[in-house]
Each structure stands twice: as C-alpha cells, then as structure tokens.
Structure 1
C-alpha cells in the first residue's frame, strides 16, 4: 500500500515544516523503506566495530533515489495449486538537501541515533544506528509488507530490539493525536509506570535514563521529593519526561511531545515542583529542562494505579451502580467489542493486549479495512462518473490488504471462515478488467472485505474481548474508564 501512496507524492510533500501535509504513517514507511535499502554493515568508530550501522552519505544517497520493491503472492488463476509472485518496484527521487532534512526528522523522532556523537547529518562520514524505537517501527513495516531480507532480519534479531512502543491513537481525518482525557490517562499510566515509580539509583543522571527506556516497559525515571511534599512525593525532570515520550511512544517530533506533557499538566496529573518554575497563568507550558522538576499529583498517582481512590470511587469521584433497563443485555461481548473499538483509550489498551497475545493483526486488519471502505465510498461519490485512476488506486489498496492479511502464506494471515477465504481468493485472482468493469470489480471486492471485517470483529469479540476484560493488568484501567457504565449506556441506546 505504501508503494501506491509513494508514487503519488512529490518531494515537496515531505517538506520539513510544522504544517507539512505528510501523514505519520507515510513518514514511518519512508523511514523503513530507507532502512531496508541500506546495507546496514559494521562501521569502525574510535577503535570499536559497531554492527548494523550506516553513514550519512549512504542515507542521503539512497534517499535521493529510493526504490521500494514489494512482492505479491497470488494463486495462479489457471492453476490454483501454483503460487505466482509478482514484484512491483517503485522509485522516488529527492534532492540532496531535502534528503538531509528528512534524515534530520528521523533523528528528531528518535528512529536513529549517532554512534560517534554527532547531532546532525552535515558530515557525510558520520555513523548512525537504529534506536530500539526505530527497530520497532521497522519490524512492523516488514511484517506488514512481508519483507524477509537477511540484513534486515539480523538487525531485528539483535538484543537491542526489545522496545514495547506505546502506539498512540490518531484521528483518521486530521492525523493529530487523540487528546481526550481517557486516552491521555492511558498514556500517562505507561509514562508514570503502572507498577510504581521508577526510582533513580544514587548517582545516576538523566543522561543514563535513555538506555533504561530501551524496553518501554518502565516509567520515567523519578526521585523522592527533596521537600517531602505529600501532595507530590515523586519528582522527575522535564528532560527525563521529554526523553521518555520520544523514546517510548509513536510521537514523531518535539511538538507532539510538548502537546502530551502540557496535557498532563492541564489534567492535573503532574505539577511543577521547582521553586523557580510555576505554570504560567495563561495555561500550561512544559519545560523540557534537566533543571526543572515536576511532581506526580495525588490524581496522577490514582490514574497510574499506585494508590486506590477513596470510598470505592473512580478517579476520586463517587459513583453508583448504573441501573440496567429492562430487556437490555449489557454483557454481550459484541457490545463490549463495539464500545472498545469506538473508544480511543480502550482501543489503545486493547491493542496492547492483542500485541501481548500475538493477535494484533486482527485489530490492524479491522482498522485498515475501515480506512479502505471509507476510501472506496469517497471514490464512488466524488463525481457522477468516478475517475479511473482513483478507482485503480483504491483497488490497488485492496490487493495490498489482501496480500498482507488474507492471501495464503501472507505475513499477517488471519483466521477467517473457509468459504469467505475461498470467495476472496476467487475474486482477487480473477482479471480486474478495464473502464466500467474495474468499478464493478471494486464493488465486489468491497463487499467481500466488509464481510471479512465483520468476521474478524466477531472473532475478536468471542475470543479476545472476554480474556481482555478479565486480565488483571487492565482491570483498574477498565474500572476507571467505567466500561460497565459505557456498556449499559450503549446497550440501552441500541434497544
């Protein structure tokens, strides 16, 4: 799917500005495509031989003429017992200075890091390596696109690839971070550490913290308040918070980090703890400085799960058991799945659970088919007679989805109904045709994908949702999110 999107982009699309039109997924896919194109060989730095590295010159040269090859495996229409592999290569050109700027964006996003102390891509001999975050992004790309190249596998098999990245939810239309209170609370729980504060050892500094964040499973590095502040007994520096969010979340620039940290302040999860730094009266403004301290508030500790709310309350506010109207079946797993899929905070948690149980591809498929069907509806209603190039591109997206999730031997092959799988294989291996026949083919494909999406939804509802709902790790968050109340409201509204 990235190959089709890349073909339609001009170099200006990747301009490095705050109002750049590029989407985060394109940015991550461009990075991963570059990494796949690089040899990632050992380089010598100060008498040491560093594995899986690349130079500035290699990166800028490859970005200047980037090639992306994608192989699609399909049963032969004339002989279904044979598998036919078709390889499509897309080439994308970029000026040298633009390539240098894009590499700078990869550095800012913490996808790569210098191994020789450089802070930019001005020196062509500088040596770089992927960060654990960059490896995670690359691993997801390779799984999604069925890439199994030896030099890439060696990088992903290295002991440095152990990051459990927080996959932040984004608005489908604007691509901006979802910033409602429940989603902010879920992210904050990971940031603070859901097993308790990650206390500094004596003598450690913020510069030691980044290696400790390599797994993404511990919270930001903290220390006990020097003033024995009961309201905010644990503190951390602005720099430590900045580093944790960039290293452990799918934020891609400083602007998104400040957006999250200011939301933490706004929702009273953290407060300035330095005597010389207080939030301005015109709103929260976070300082990413090692000289500025912030403390976790009592509310923040409740949200993190460190302390329980008084009187059996949710987030400190008294609650009562909601009365279930007559005739309402609240506990339907289908209802639970619907509530989860519509709520960004619950969806974020559910994705984490699916990743832990090796079923994340189910949710990924559901979300991607939803985007495809929206694209399909938009292509059909754009004009009385839809443009063939738009129809062709939408159909190409469907084939990309099929080869990633549904084709025999696909990298993320899903478990769906046998008859539906055969119907999909039959449709996807038939000739597409031209002109009006192409639109008819797209209509048929859309119907089958809608059925496949429903099948995967039911699978998640029956298999994953009950286990997710009972998982002790998420019990407190689900209780704080008031899932039971949401179920009651949804079920009552559905009568």
Structure 2
C-alpha cells in the first residue's frame, strides 16, 4: 500500500520558519481510506516544520565525499544537489502494522512525502538553512549562487537530523554514518516555545537557565574571545569563549566576551533558527542584569545589547550567582504558615502535583527535557505534549460546522495515525511503555478500516479517548519514576527552587475546585 502527501512550510507572523515539531500525517489515511492514493494538505496549520524539511532534504542527499582544495571532505553535498533535490523532494518511509483482517500477519506500508518548489524558492530555503546554522560552507561561502559550492552539516545540523531520524525510525546507512561521526555534539539546548505562536518563552526562570548554559559551569577561557571560524561553538556543554582580564578598581571583572560571540553561541548551541532570537536573548541577559557592558559610557550602551565584535560584556555579580560560580546570599524562602495542612494533604500525591507544575512551567520543562534525554526517555514527555496538542486539535475539529467539517475531521484523524505510529504502534521508533491491554485496544482501533463520514467521526472520538488513556498512563509513569529522580538529581535539583511550594499551591487549587464542584 502506498500513500503520498504534499506539504507547505509554515511561517510565523514575523516571517520566521516555524521550528516546533508537528505530528506528521504519514500513514494517516491508509486504513481510513484504503482506496485513496494521495493526500494534499494546503492548510498552513498542518504544514511542515522547518527542521523536518531540512532533515528530509539531508536524508534524500547521498552526502558523499567531495574534493575541496586537494582534499576530500566526507558527508558533503553541493549547492546544485541541494537545490535540485529540494525543488522536487520525495521522502519514502515504510511502516509495519498488524493486518486489520488477520492480526497474525503484518502489513508493510510505504508513505512518500513530497515537496515541490521553484528553483529560486529552493535556493532561498537552502539559504535559510545556512542562516539557521544547520549547514556551513567548506569553502567559506555565504550563499548558494555557485552550483558547485560544497556544504556540510554543522554539529547543530547533525543533532537536529539525529532527532528527526530517531523520531521517524530512519536507519539509512549514509545518514547513520553522519550521526555516528565525531562532529555530532549529542546535545543542544532545546528551547521551549509557545504552542500557537512558536515564540520563545521569555520568563525570567527560562532566561536564567539558558544563561547558565551560555556561561558554562566554569569559565571557558581563551586567548581570543571571538573568531570567524565556521566551527565557532560546536559543543553546548561548554560556555561562551571569554578573554582573561586583570581586575582593577575601575574594572573589577576577570573575563570579558563579545556581543557577536554571544549571538554565535546561542545560534550554534540552541534550537533557535533565526538570529533575531539570539538578539532577543542577549537583550534579556542585559535587562536582567546578568551581564553588563565593559564600556557603559556611550549613550544606550547599558540598555541596548549590541551583537558586534567591538561590544564587550562581562558577567555581573548577580550573573555569577545565577551561573553557580558563586553562592547566593539569599536567605531561604519563608514557609507559608497556612501551607502545613495542605502539604500534609498533598504528600500522598506530591509527585503528581510536581509533574503537573513541571510540564506547565517552561523553565522547569526545559530542565526536565534535558534530564529525560540524558536518561534515554525523552519520548515520554514528547508524547504527553503532543497528545495535549492533538486534543486541542480534536476539540476544534468536532466543534467546527460547515462545509469543511469532514475535511478537518479527516486531517485530525491523519494526525492521530501519525502520532500512533511514532509512539504507540508495535515496533515504533519511540515505542512507549504502556499497559498491554491498552496497547491491544489501540492496535485494534487503529487498524480498523473506516467507511463513511459518520464512521470516520466515530472513529476519531474513539481514538481520542484511547489517546487520553495512554496520556494518563504516561503521566503516572513520569510521576512515579522519572520526576522523583529528576528532583533529586544533583545537577537539576538545585535549579528547582520553589517547585514544592508551587506543587502545594496547585494541590490546594485543585482541592478547592473539587470542593466547589461537589457543593
């Protein structure tokens, strides 16, 4: 069986490519509409994630050695290869599922996702990949005008490709060779974003967490604080490059770094794809008094972040405390005299409350995601959040009226199949640990063919209920296993100041809500 889909690239309101990963509707209509051979999605809300498009392109390229200045560079491609492939991109993937008519048999389905764009548009998208620091020129080129220019993935690009392949179960030999290479940093600072707008969260806690990664656990001292190397920052576990400075009464700091190095580190080591976001974070570092300019005499220097080589900054005393370089002088937060009883009542369910608070708080969620990635179970959080998004999509779909209702139901069901195949199908790339009976229910429901429109609507309702059960199961697993380990971890525990107080407050709020409902 074969299915083809065609997708568009989604953009934000400020013309920046959407960076959040979306539920791909691969495999979507295979069982719902076995007779249907093509699916064209034109709704921008279902369009392709920028990182997915990049990764799909990389999978389609041979990534072979190319000669540059008398030496061969592994895992490279030319401008012409990238533009040609992107202009008519096809990505095929196979998936195995039980036969709906005979559970003892396995049906292998092949899904082909296609992108089609004019040559100049393809060139422009490739330029966006370069500006996002996904790829770099082996010859120090800055555009795709020369068709023979040779390019390679940056460490950041390799990591993004690895996450895509892990999510979709891709094991192509040429891609695996790139991922297994020594240039893979194995980690990036995964920034949390608003579901609807794709904008970064700018709350103080989140900025402070990014800042700790930015300056590092210890000073990354260098003879030069800035360079034009294409390998400027290839590891996110090492802070920005700083120059040693001899302190004096007038200048009582020991290290300085440049505004350009700040944005370069953020672009190289975080999941942001637009330099404007690096400027935003640099400005927030300055606004929160985590850094301050060396020369604050010029008008506006102390209030406006400047991303140049000439602008030098140093970490403030407050910034050193946030970074963990020095200890806080803060006294402990006083206990709420009214919280004693609520804490006693919440003790039994404290980990569930903590899990709820962690998931809803972007800064703690960022830390929790890092922890889960370290412990090889990030898929639990990813699934929980994607079901949240699916449930919102489902609620909107069943509420809509008019001529587009059936098409919306169909697309929502498509998203459900994509989510199922990524996390819940037997042998899926990120198969979750859920109850066997629930897994059987899901397999039975997902492999059952759908007939008319009424049956499709009923099918979507049943799938949504099963996903909610699976989501609750994963929530309980996180609450009983990973969250207790997370809050006790020496790396993350000290950064969770106020978590227990927030969990206790959430418990009280939920208790009060339950009481008001019962009365």
TM-score scaled by length of structure 2: 0.87
Match for residue 242 of structure 2?
A: 222
Matched, 1:303 2:343: no
Contact in 2 for aligned 1:233/1:296 (Cα 8 Å)? no
Match for residue 367 of structure 1?
A: 385
Gapped regions of structure 1 (runs ≥ 5): 314-318
**Cα distance in 2 between the residues matched to 1:340 and 1:7:** 36
Match for residue 105 of structure 1?
A: 128
Contact in 1 for aligned 2:193/2:200 (Cα 8 Å)? yes
**Cα distance in 1 between the residues matched to 2:183 and 2:141:** 21
Matched, 1:494 2:510: yes
1:340-369 CA deviation, whole Å, 9 max, x = no partner?
Answer: 011000000000000000010100111111
Q: What is the deviation of 1:212?
A: 6.5
Map 1:171-182 → 2, pairs under 5 A = 171-182=194-205
Count of aligned pairs between the two proteins: 477
1:411-449 CA deviation, whole Å, 9 max, x = no partner?
Answer: 101101111111111111111222111010000000000
**Cα distance in 2 between the residues matched to 1:234 and 1:389:** 59
Q: What is the deviation of 1:474?
A: 1.2
SS at match of 2:493: helix
**Cα distance in 2 between the residues matched to 1:285 and 1:41:** 45
Q: 1:388 aligns with which of 400, 406, 426?
A: 406
Question: 1:492/1:22 Cα in 2 relative to 1: closer, same or farther (>3 Å)?
Answer: closer
Match for residue 477 of structure 1?
A: 495
Q: What is the deviation of 1:145?
A: 1.2
SS at match of 2:234: helix
Question: 1:404/1:151 Cα in 2 relative to 1: closer, same or farther (>3 Å)?
Answer: same
Question: Comparing 295-304 with 54-63, which one deviates more in the overlay?
Answer: 295-304
Match for residue 35 of structure 2?
A: none
Question: 1:21/1:132 Cα in 2 relative to 1: closer, same or farther (>3 Å)?
Answer: closer
Question: 1:419/1:386 Cα in 2 relative to 1: closer, same or farther (>3 Å)?
Answer: farther
Map 1:23-422 → 2, pairs under 5 A = 24-25=20-21, 26-193=49-216, 195-200=217-222, 202=223, 204-207=224-227, 211=231, 213-228=233-248, 232-274=253-295, 277=298, 279-280=300-301, 284-313=303-332, 319-323=333-337, 324-328=339-343, 329-331=345-347, 332-383=350-401, 387-422=405-440
**Cα distance in 2 between the residues matched to 1:397 and 1:17:** 24
Question: 1:381/1:395 Cα in 2 relative to 1: closer, same or farther (>3 Å)?
Answer: same
**Cα distance in 2 between the residues matched to 1:276 and 1:52:** 48
Match for residue 316 of structure 1?
A: none
Q: Which one has more relative contact order, counting CA pairs under 8 Å at least 6 apart?
A: 2
Match for residue 38 of structure 2?
A: none
Q: What is the deviation of 1:475?
A: 2.3
Q: What is the deviation of 1:393?
A: 1.2
**Cα distance in 1 between the residues matched to 2:146 and 2:283:** 35
1:34-74 CA deviation, whole Å, 9 max, x = no partner?
Answer: 11111101000001100000000000001111112232221
**Cα distance in 2 between the residues matched to 1:386 and 1:427:** 25
Q: What is the deviation of 1:17?
A: 9.3
**Cα distance in 1 between the residues matched to 2:213 and 2:256:** 16
Q: What is the deviation of 1:8?
A: 4.5
**Cα distance in 2 between the residues matched to 1:417 and 1:466:** 21
Q: What is the deviation of 1:379?
A: 0.8
Contact in 2 for aligned 1:16/1:105 (Cα 8 Å)? no
1:154-194 CA deviation, whole Å, 9 max, x = no partner?
Answer: 1111111124100101000111111111111111111111x
Contact in 2 for aligned 1:333/1:466 (Cα 8 Å)? yes
Q: 1:454 aligns with which of 467, 472, 483?
A: 472
Q: CA RMSD of the aligned region, Å?
A: 2.2
Match for residue 460 of structure 2?
A: 442
Question: 1:17/1:424 Cα in 2 relative to 1: closer, same or farther (>3 Å)?
Answer: closer
Contact in 2 for aligned 1:63/1:99 (Cα 8 Å)? yes
**Cα distance in 1 between the residues matched to 2:193 and 2:415:** 20
Contact in 2 for aligned 1:76/1:82 (Cα 8 Å)? yes
Q: What is the deviation of 1:454?
A: 0.6
Q: What is the deviation of 1:19?
A: 2.5
Q: What is the deviation of 1:232?
A: 4.4
Gapped regions of structure 2 (runs ≥ 5): 22-48, 512-519
**Cα distance in 1 between the residues matched to 2:274 and 2:491:** 30
SS at match of 2:492: helix
Question: Comparing 54-63 with 23-32, which one deviates more in the overlay?
Answer: 23-32
Contact in 1 for aligned 2:355/2:478 (Cα 8 Å)? yes
**Cα distance in 2 between the residues matched to 1:446 and 1:14:** 25
SS at match of 1:286: coil
**Cα distance in 2 between the residues matched to 1:20 and 1:289:** 22
Question: 1:278/1:49 Cα in 2 relative to 1: closer, same or farther (>3 Å)?
Answer: farther
**Cα distance in 1 between the residues matched to 2:274 and 2:141:** 19
**Cα distance in 2 between the residues matched to 1:445 and 1:366:** 15
Q: What is the deviation of 1:117?
A: 1.4
SS at match of 1:312: coil
SS at match of 1:326: helix
**Cα distance in 2 between the residues matched to 1:231 and 1:312:** 26
1:221-253 CA deviation, whole Å, 9 max, x = no partner?
Answer: 112344546764432111111110000001101
Contact in 2 for aligned 1:167/1:348 (Cα 8 Å)? yes
